[in-house]
């Protein structure tokens, strides 16, 4: 957990003018509206994009995520199919299922909801999804195409980060973007997408020396390291754009007070639900920003919208439209 803020930092935070909040809900709604229009245009050509969601076993959080994805499909006119194999299914049986979905012409996107049961080989399954139907953008072929700057299905969360920046008219070209986190799902692909937009990109991680010196150089700071409040105010230059990809649940009063002590609105939510969430950026650091994505209400809301966009894109790419 981060230490208390130094006195000088508290003074800087208090003196800085109000930052712009980058509202994920507004951007997600705009993307969904555009996707719905594309779906209607495809319908006029006799094409209906289709998404198959595979949910193994009974994981409560995963069930909510997948239900929201299916509901988004219904809302936008995309055909969706929810497949729910039992938790004890074998890797071999799952590979057969993926193979069957790969061969179906009415399915343009295949989504395998993670995490999978421990005995199922998740990597083998993700690699088995046909790259042209890999709407999560996890397949090594899509990762390679993304790296090479070719047409590819990009992972949804990193693609959402770029949409947030562009749709808020925040310049990327020529800016120094620092990405904290190097996962295959967020860190690496978001760095590659920023590079393609002509940013100068630095990737940092848990072994980076003098991390704060580097993050303070960032015009755009993307935090995707999976540690609550990891980026503290002393790691941020005033006026920087802060993109917080983290979602970390706080369950104890001690954890809550570290980040939100004195925040009556957050406290009411915490007392009602018994928990609240915080990103990878300390809330006090947001007060230094020129613009920032809140948690909740920021990057997370873009993920399903970008999944819908990827499904339509896959439908068009598969048919040469």
- Active-site residue numbers? 69, 113, 136
**Rounded Cα gap, residues 214 and 203, in angstroms:** 10
Q: Please classify residue 209 by burial: count the beta carbons closer than 10 Å to its beta carbon, then call 0-12 exposed, 13-18 middle and 19+ buried.
A: exposed
For residue 232, whether the previous peptide bond is cis, meaning omega lies within 30 degrees of 0, is no
Structural contact between residues 192 and 144, judged by C-beta atoms closer than 8 angstroms: no
Q: Which of 214, 211, 210, 221 is nearest to 187 (CA)?
A: 221
Phi, psi dihedrals of residue 184, rounded to the nearest 5°? -70, -20
The answer to whether 171 and 197 are in contact (CB under 8 A) is: no
User: Whole-angstrom Cα distance, residue 153 to residue 264?
Assistant: 42
Nearest to 300 by CA among 152, 143, 204, 156: 156
Strand-strand pairing, 276-278 and 248-250: antiparallel
Cα separation, 283 vs 298, in Å, equals 13
Beta bridge partners of 221: 178, 242
State how far the alpha carbon of 164 is from the alpha carbons of 8, 25, 86, 192, in Å.
Answer: 31, 10, 37, 16
Q: Are 306 and 153 spatial neighbours (Cβ–Cβ below 8 Å)?
A: no
């Amino acid at each position: 957990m981060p230490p208390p803020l130094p006195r000088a930092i508290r003074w800087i935070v208090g003196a800085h003018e109000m930052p712009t909040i980058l509202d994920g809900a507004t951007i997600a709604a705009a993307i969904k509206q555009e996707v719905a229009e594309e779906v209607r245009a495809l319908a006029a050509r006799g094409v209906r994009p289709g998404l198959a969601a595979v949910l193994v076993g009974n994981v409560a959080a995963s069930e909510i995520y997948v239900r929201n994805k299916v509901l988004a499909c219904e809302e936008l006119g995309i055909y969706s199919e929810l497949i729910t194999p039992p938790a004890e299914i074998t890797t071999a049986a799952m590979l057969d299922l993926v193979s069957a979905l790969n061969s179906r012409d009415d399915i343009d996107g295949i989504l395998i909801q993670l995490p999978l049961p421990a005995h199922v080989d998740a990597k083998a399954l993700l690699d088995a999804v046909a790259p042209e139907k890999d709407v999560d953008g996890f397949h090594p072929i899509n990762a390679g195409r993304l790296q090479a700057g070719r047409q590819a299905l990009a992972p949804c969360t990193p693609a959402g980060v770029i949409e947030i920046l562009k749709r808020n008219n925040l310049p990327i070209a020529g800016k120094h973007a620092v990405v904290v986190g190097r996962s295959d799902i967020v860190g690496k692909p978001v760095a590659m997408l920023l590079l393609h937009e002509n940013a100068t990109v630095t990737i940092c991680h848990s072994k980076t020396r003098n991390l704060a010196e580097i993050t303070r150089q960032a015009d755009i700071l993307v935090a995707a390291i999976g540690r609550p409040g990891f980026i503290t105010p002393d790691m941020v230059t005033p006026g920087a754009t802060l993109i917080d990809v983290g979602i970390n649940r706080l369950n104890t009063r001690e954890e809550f007070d570290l980040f939100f002590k004195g925040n009556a609105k957050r406290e009411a939510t915490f007392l009602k639900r018994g928990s609240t969430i915080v990103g990878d950026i300390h809330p006090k650091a947001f007060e230094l920003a020129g613009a920032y994505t809140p948690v909740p209400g920021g990057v997370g809301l873009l993920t399903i919208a970008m999944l819908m966009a990827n499904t339509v894109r896959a439908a068009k790419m598969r048919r040469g439209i």
